Amino acid sequence: MTDSQQTSRLYWAPLELGLLTADGSLTLSPTVTEHDEEASSPLPQIIHDENKLDCIYLPLEHLLVRKFALPLSNLRHLDADIIGQELADNAGITPESWWLSWQAQKTEKGLSGLVFALPKNIKEAIQSDSQWQQAPLLLVDGWQRLDTYKPEQGESSLVIIDVDSEGLFFAYFKDQVCQGIRRLNANMPDDAQAGPLAKQILWSLQAMGKTTDDSALWAGRVNNSLANALVESAPETNTNTLDVSDDLPTRIEATLRLTPPTLNKQTLNLRHGKWSAKQSTQVMLHWKRPLILASLLLLVWLGSTVASNFRLESKLADMETQMTEAFHLGLPNQPVMIDVLAQLRQAANGSSGSGNSSQVTVQLAAIHSVFEKNAWQIEELKFDDKGSTMSGKISTLERLNAIRDALAAATNSEVVIADTDLSGKEVSFRLRW
């Protein structure tokens, strides 16, 4: 399916299936579903259409519609679990059997609005059907038709009505919160039915909460006989703000000729949340937060690794400096370090200096052999006729004991810990042998 392919709008009306193609042609077919035991889909078949569906309208009668009011302070706190529990408590339904969508507004007492519940078997059938699942917009016919007549400026009390040749939709809004929405089926225009129909409308509005002294604004479309009947039944009704015409479209035509709404947070789109139609860019947006977190973790890891390497290199440089100072202290006649152990062994065998110098060289070679395996900070080395003394610092007492034992084995002498200081972060010590 390419982006250049034409699109169609589908309307699953109660008695017919309407299909409006991009060229404006309208095709009607009976809403006959498969009744075979093997065919489990409740959806009517779309015949002879290869266009991509960009919008599907469902009839209001297919959904359970209920008003709700919850003591919540923010719309962000509202979710399907909370509304589902509200429906279970007040309507006695099983929330797991319904896919919930809602329209809500903030009021003085909390959040209030309408919930539209779609049976889960219809939702799952749409989701698994190769044609129906293409549409990113799954809309409710009555809500969308009435929404086209809603004034941009909010009204404290508002009645919206939209008549077609097969009946009408109407809803009552109080403080911009929908108090109820209903469909009445009737042959229109029919002067004989206008009076009883007007009374049904007014009774329904009273059930939704509209009082007789409520001077609500009326908006929408009616035919002449119904407009007159409304005024006769309720003189306070102001029909001057209504579009009055006897040239009424069918229910399917009135719905499919609507301009589909822009997909945003205010749109009552039954395909929302996990069921929303994902575009490629939306899929990437879904991974945006994990990718950002992974990138930050990688930067932190790289930063800690670089810092650790820098500390180790600095420590190695300090150790090399100490080794160089010790080498030149023990072998003043050898200004260049080539192979430290070989040079120390050569000096120990008497190839350079007196007996005293050779003894010092032997001690340095022993210290170097231990230092290579377990480095520490050397602060002072002293060699005299009484023996050898070394001062320095090391991280723990355990390592100090290990150095003492290693030096004793390397020098073949008894090494004594003459002094220790534990007041700092490291252990200061003085060894004597």
DSSP string, 208-220: HT--TT--PEEEE
> In the structure, what pLDDT confidence band is assigned to residue 164 with cuts at 50, 70 and 90?
very high
For the stretch 402-411, pLDDT in tens is 999 998 998 8
The amino acid occupying position 263 is L
Q: Quick check: 199 and 184 in contact, CB under 8 A? A: no
pLDDT reported for residue 197 = 95
Mean pLDDT (whole number) for 311-318: 86
Is the pLDDT assigned to residue 429 strictly greater than 70?
yes
Mean of pLDDT values over 38-53: 72
**Percentage of the chain modeled with pLDDT above 90:** 38
* Residue 263: partners with Cβ closer than 8 Å, 6 or more residues away: 136, 137, 269
Confidence category of residue 278, pLDDT binned at 50, 70, 90 = low
pLDDT of residue 353: 45
How does residue 281 score in pLDDT terms, banded at 50, 70 and 90?
A: very low
Question: What gap in Å lies between CA 162 and CA 147, rounded to an integer?
Answer: 10
The domains located in the chain, with CATH, are 1-140 (3.30.420.380), 149-257 (3.30.420.40), 296-432 (no CATH)
Token pair, residue 207, equals: 């059930």
- Closest to 337 (Cα-Cα) out of 357, 364, 359, 355: 364
352 has pLDDT over 50? no
What pLDDT is recorded for position 270?
92
- Residue 136 pLDDT more than 80? yes
* Euclidean distance between CA atoms 252 and 269, whole angstroms: 19
**What one-character DSSP code corresponds to residue 249?**
P
Ranked by mean pLDDT, which of 36-50, 130-144, 277-291, 347-361 comes out on top? Answer: 130-144
Report cis status (omega within 30 of 0) of the bond before 189. yes
pLDDT for position 379: 86
The C-alpha atoms of residue 14 and residue 2 are separated, in whole angstroms, by 32
Mean pLDDT, to the nearest integer, of 246-255?
95
Inform me whether the pLDDT recorded for 2 exceeds 70: no
**Identity of the residue numbered 389:** T
Residue with tokens 């909460």: 209
Of 422, 417, 423, the C-alpha closest to 401 is: 417
Average pLDDT of the chain is 85
- At residue 244 the predicted structure's pLDDT band, cuts being 50, 70 and 90, is very high
The torsion region of residue 326 among left (phi > 0), alpha (psi -120 to 50) and beta comes to alpha
pLDDT value at residue 111: 94
pLDDT above 70 covers a percentage of the chain that reads 87
Tell me how far apart the alpha carbons of residues 276 and 70 are, in angstroms, rounded to a whole number: 26
Question: For 409-422, what is each residue's pLDDT tens digit?
Answer: 988 889 898 888 88
Using only C-alpha atoms, what is the Rg of the chain?
A: 44
Tell the residue number behind the tokens 């052999």, with chain if given. 369
Mean per-residue pLDDT, 55-62: 94
Whole-prediction pTM? 0.62
Measured distance CA(21)–CA(225) in Å, rounded: 34
Q: What are phi and psi of 118, to 5 degrees?
A: -100, 130
The secondary structure element, H or E, covering residue 381 is: strand 377-384
Confidence of residue 286 (pLDDT cuts 50, 70, 90): low
Residue 280 pLDDT grade (very low, low, confident, very high; cuts 50, 70, 90): very low
| C-beta pairs of 313-320 under 8 Å, 24+ apart in sequence | 318/377, 319/375
Helix (H, G, I), strand (E, B) or coil at 245: coil
- What is the Cα–Cα distance from 97 to 9, expressed in whole angstroms? 27
Query: For residue 174, what are the β-bridge partners?
Result: 157, 177
Lowest mean pLDDT among 249-253, 336-340, 366-370: 336-340
